Amino acid sequence: MDTYNMYVRGQEKEIKASAKRTLLDAAAAARLPLLVGCKGGGCGVCKVRIIDGMIEHGFYSKSVLTDEERSAGYVLACQARPLSDVTIDL
């Protein structure tokens, strides 16, 4: 069972998420507008911060998601997949 809930800080929305799809795809399915660019981990437009929960980061360029940002909880929504319930900050 790889189905989780994704919560957005400051919003009442509960979004169905899955380890089989990215945070961006889950947000799009729930009509939550996230900024999107290349969808390939190369531009950084979709960067969000994980407040709580575990994430598989997926492919990304360190030029758009630095080690410091990653340590601070940032992920690229077009690449990251949840491994638990997650709360994100837009």
Question: Which residue do the tokens 């598989």 mark?
Answer: 56
- Shortest Å, Cβ 12 to ligand FES: 25
Query: Quick check: 57 and 46 in contact, CB under 8 A?
Result: no
Nearer to ligand FES, 14 or 42 (CB): 42
Nearer to ligand FES, 14 or 37 (CB): 37
- Shortest Å, Cβ 27 to ligand FES: 12
- Shortest Å, Cβ 61 to ligand FES: 8
- Shortest Å, Cβ 79 to ligand FES: 6
> In the complex, which residue's CB is closest to ligand FES?
78
Contacts of residue 89, defined as CB under 8 A and 6 or more positions apart, other chains included, come to 8, 9, 10, 48, 49, 50, 51
> Could you list the residues that contact ligand FES (CB under 6 A)?
36-39, 41-46, 64, 76, 78
Residue among 50, 53, 48 nearest 76 (CA): 48
CA distance 85 to 25: 15
